[in-house]
Amino acid sequence: MQTQGHYVLNMALLGKTIAPKHNIAITIGAILPDIPIFLFYFISKYMYNMSEAKIWGEAYYEPIWQNIIATSHSIPIALIGFLICWRLDWKWGAILCVSMVCHCLLDLPVHHDDAHRHFYPFSDYRFNSPVSYWDVNHHAKIVAGIEAGLVLIATPLVMSLLKTPYTKGILIFINIIYFVVYSRMLGINIVLSQTIRTLVLIAVAIATPLIIFVSRNKKQSLKKLEYYKINVLDKLRSKDNTNH
């Protein structure tokens, strides 16, 4: 699954059930397993200047990277982490570990020849699923469609858990990314030209300070309302009571 999809689905799965007040723990647990892959890509591409073909065809299968990625995608390691946190009464850590397990369980059915070793270090077994979320030779056009659909369905649930305009904006952005990526997979190129890309960047550049401005003022207005309530309404009420 796409990393940002893990975030949305884990938030909906856990935030709406066992951990409604632990957005950060769920988010970190959802993203953490894929961090070594991003790190690997960054190092290979920008420090070793490798081609895409070499990165995903050779370097990705180096034992050192495979072991690091297997560790972060290990169900038993995440479960051991969960048990330790549970024993220590550290709910935040326990939820993070549960979120990591959810990440692994969602990855398990959608990786074909790039399947992770989800039972590492106890077993090197890889479940080479007949379907893949990215490989069009293994039904990715259907699987990615289902994945994007699930993210879209989960979005309103997750939106209700988010409090700041930034996180809500990120959630909308994730949906746009899914839309663009899936359209490309189907052969429809949504982002047509450099001009559109530039326009999007300008829009983001204008929208960001606007969101900050609105959210700051919202806080101030809420404070003013609170002040009004305490100082004016409550005093009026107490006067009312003394008159009677």
Q: Interface with Zn ion by CB under 5 A: which residues?
A: 33-34, 107
C-beta of 91 vs 126, nearer to Zn ion? 126
CB of 32 to Zn ion, least distance (A): 9
For the chain, helix, strand, coil in percent to 5 are 75, 0, 25
C-beta of 110 vs 154, nearer to Zn ion? 110
CB of 1 to Zn ion, least distance (A): 7
CB of 23 to Zn ion, least distance (A): 20
C-beta of 34 vs 147, nearer to Zn ion? 34
CB of 22 to Zn ion, least distance (A): 20
CB of 34 to Zn ion, least distance (A): 5
Which of 97, 65, 99 lies closest to 80, judged by CA? 97
Q: Are 104 and 74 in contact (CB under 8 A)?
A: yes
Q: What is the Cα–Cα distance from 99 to 107, expressed in whole angstroms?
A: 12
C-beta of 102 vs 242, nearer to Zn ion? 102
CA distances from 42 to 81, 123, 156, 244 (A): 28, 28, 33, 73
Give CA angle at 204 (11, 209), nearest 5°. Answer: 90
Q: Are 30 and 7 in contact (CB under 8 A)?
A: yes
Q: Are 175 and 152 in contact (CB under 8 A)?
A: yes
CB of 197 to Zn ion, least distance (A): 28
Helices (H), 164-193: 165-185
C-beta of 22 vs 107, nearer to Zn ion? 107
Q: Hey, what are 30's tokens?
A: 């959802």
C-beta of 86 vs 114, nearer to Zn ion? 114
Q: Hey, what are 44's tokens?
A: 């290979």
